[in-house]
Chain A
């Protein structure tokens, strides 16, 4: 009798152990069998009436500040396509995952979307680090990733489409414009990570070639909030232009403290590449008024498509929300993909990639076009001045869409950048 009791307990604990293992191993969401069934199903998923796409942005952690709006924009675009009858007769079903501002999580979730959910494409990412984490995953699984944020270039993966600006669609024209309009003495300020360092390396080469002068270069750790010393250094060297590649949060501290130190846009021009309408809302238009930013799209951009887009976005997510460049790039990425799918007549990654070359879409920022060779997008460059109400006043634009050149091959001074 005693022994039986003892054994019963052992069995119970064994059961507990085993169930723990199963629970954790397959994360309980779907039993193992179900997952396997899905694997078999993959070939038949074409016949069902929905098709899955993945949306992978940080919904928590430090990057949620920026990325949540991208998810909203992508969901809106998907809804539009579904309302107009879907794609190849199917409704698009978004599978939303949280990258949690953590790069291995991005890799894990991308893998999950491709292998378990069998999504036909992923829209996602913001930081370069998150893109770099997803890159090997999409390449190994032959998936598709649409990356909607401006970045440092020097990359063209066959499995990624880049709908944000590369350096020659943002930084390079901005530097040329500043040299012609604002002065020669540049001070480079950035957060200590890949984009600012690479961007500044390009800017330094360009300054050398176009007759500018570098008077200072500073990097601050991510999340840095005290800029009094940096501002002292800026005061010491008296630059004409501060080229600012700080990331979101640090910008708030930098501009607030710059204003407190008695420096306004009249005394010193700050050109930013990461401050869009969304960020201005978190800093305050008054603090930023008069400073400049370079993008491909502003909420104030005057096109008929943009009027509809802004109106729709505000109606859907609240009238105090704003649109900005990455939001727009995320939005038209979905439409570009849909156009490519229509042209290919299939969701198959290879066919979509092939069909994507030269696809055009009338985006809110103007007509955008996919460059088949680099898988980047042709875009119009715009420089704007920040107004107290948080909107941009456009000072200059490139007129027509600029061809993407992620490796800066068409610029002679950039030859030494890549060994």
Chain B
């Protein structure tokens, strides 16, 4: 186990040291991908471990991002009304915007708001035993509701433009490379702690109940567990991860708009996890980084036809690598192990024979 661990540590060490070997532009890309990796951990928990496929995590990501962005927008406006409110005909800062003048409140809201929404929705949905495909499609309906609302309430949310053009965070310039490096490192730390927390969670009894729910929810119920509680908890946890990811995303990318919480990004989030390997936390992280890296790579090099590559990638992963990239690694390892076992058996046979002599 310890031997296996040091590989993870090296992976995170590589992430920590990235500012030393990546250019500013690539670092900011990697920072963005790591935010996506946070969402991926959450999705791996609910999908890979618990068997709930959510196609609506864009909403939680978006809510977290908006909470952070509202604070940044107010800071950038320096006491005046945010620009989009002026041209939308709002004369006074709405009361709920006022809350976001305080950084602590904004940051805590970036977690609390998504979690509350997730708890509310999942409690009713899971209690009513909506699951599988139905839950997935229902979560899409929630996305439609939120995106339409956020676009429609332009005077409060900035409409399709979203919130952008921030200048400082806690007084530090967002455009300075040093701030960006600090934010990047903070992202890595957050990602690492989410990873360790989730890993701890999945390694004890709680994790085994989750897997049991995935494999047969009714049996779990008959055994005296209440699956709803477990599902609501893990779903809300993934919403919290997505909310934090949203906040870090806004800090590094400097932009949030309803388009980022829509149906297409929500499905893409699931795809990252599928590519990396759904029931592996480290796989989810790698999947998020690799998929987005591939997207950037293809779209930079083949701007006209990159969708063909991306579409092909998803089909190939689903058809040939049902357990994603980590699945490949595991099966290679297993084959090796089996080989070793066979070799051991063979050698012991030989030894036995030899010893007879």
Contacts and interface: CB of A to CB of B under 8 A. Distances in A.
Complex contact flag A–B (Cβ < 8 Å): yes
Contacts of A20: 286, 289-290, 325
A196 B14 CA distance: 48
Interface stretch (A26-34, A83-91, A314-322, A393-401): A26-34
A271 B80 CA distance: 36
A193 B304 contact: no
B23 A193 contact: no
Interface in A121-160: 127-129, 132-133, 135-137, 140, 152, 154
Contacts of B154: 192-194, 197
Q: How large is the interface on A (under 10, 10 to 19, 20 to 34, 35 or more residues)?
A: 35 or more
A97 interface: yes
Given A18-B14, A129-B160, A136-B165, A418 B175 contact: no
B69 to A, nearest CB: 12
Contact of A115 (B15, B24, B296): B24
Interface in B86-113: 86-89, 91
Nearest to B175: A140
Contacts of B296: 27, 108
A5 interface: yes
Interface string B153-167: 010001111101110
Contacts of B88: 197-198, 201
A17 B290 contact: no
A372 to B, nearest CB: 23
A197 B24 CA distance: 38
A98 B303 contact: yes
A136 B254 contact: yes
Interface stretch (A7-15, A260-268, A329-337, A348-356): A7-15
B172 interface: no
Contacts of A128: 160-161
Contact of A129 (B161, B254, B301): B161
B135 interface: no
Contacts of B21: 32
A154 B148 contact: no
Nearest to B253: A104
A20 B287 CA distance: 10
Contact of B91 (A28, A109, A132, A419): A419
Nearest to A157: B165
Q: How large is the interface on B (under 10, 10 to 19, 20 to 34, 35 or more residues)?
A: 35 or more
Contacts of A2: 340, 344
Contacts of A222: 151, 160
Nearest to B151: A192
Contacts, number: 179
Contact of B299 (A97, A133, A197): A97
A97 B294 CA distance: 15
A24 B151 contact: no
Contact of B29 (A101, A108, A419): A108
B137 interface: no
B299 A98 contact: yes
Interface in A8-50: 9-10, 13-14, 16-18, 20-21, 23-29, 32, 35-36, 39
Contacts of B293: 23-25, 27-28
B30 interface: yes
A191 to B, nearest CB: 9
A415 to B, nearest CB: 13
A140 B176 CA distance: 9
A100 B304 CA distance: 10
B306 interface: yes
Nearest to B333: A9
A59 interface: yes
A219 interface: yes
Contacts of A132: 161-162, 164-165
Interface stretch (B3-11, B47-55, B206-214, B315-323): B3-11
Interface string B289-317: 11011101101110110110000000000
A112 B162 CA distance: 22
Contacts of A21: 11, 14-15, 289
Contacts of A133: 164, 255, 257
B133 interface: no
A96 interface: yes
Contact of A60 (B18, B24, B307): B307
Contacts of B307: 60
A418 B299 CA distance: 40
B160 A5 contact: no
Contacts of A32: 21-23, 26
Interface in A187-208: 192-194, 197-198, 201
B151 A111 contact: no
A103 interface: yes
Contact of A194 (B161, B253, B255, B300): B161
B160 A127 contact: yes
B32 interface: yes
Nearest to A197: B154
Given A32-B23, A136-B164, A16 B329 contact: yes
B138 interface: no
A151 B331 CA distance: 55
Contacts of A60: 306-307
Interface of B: 3, 7, 10-11, 14-15, 18, 21-26, 28-30, 32-33, 81, 83-84, 86-89, 91, 148, 151-152, 154, 158-162, 164-166, 175, 253-255, 257, 259-260, 286, 289-290, 292-294, 296-297, 299-301, 303-304, 306-307, 325, 329, 333, 336, 340, 344
Given A115-B25, A133-B164, A222-B151, 12 more contacts: A9-B336, A14-B7, A23-B290, A24-B30, A25-B29, A60-B307, A111-B25, A112-B25, A132-B164, A136-B164, A140-B175, A193-B159
7 contacts: A21-B14, A24-B289, A25-B30, A29-B297, A102-B259, A112-B300, A419-B81
- The 8 closest A-B CB pairs, nearest first, are A24-B293, A98-B303, A140-B175, A193-B160, A27-B297, A115-B25, A24-B289, A27-B296
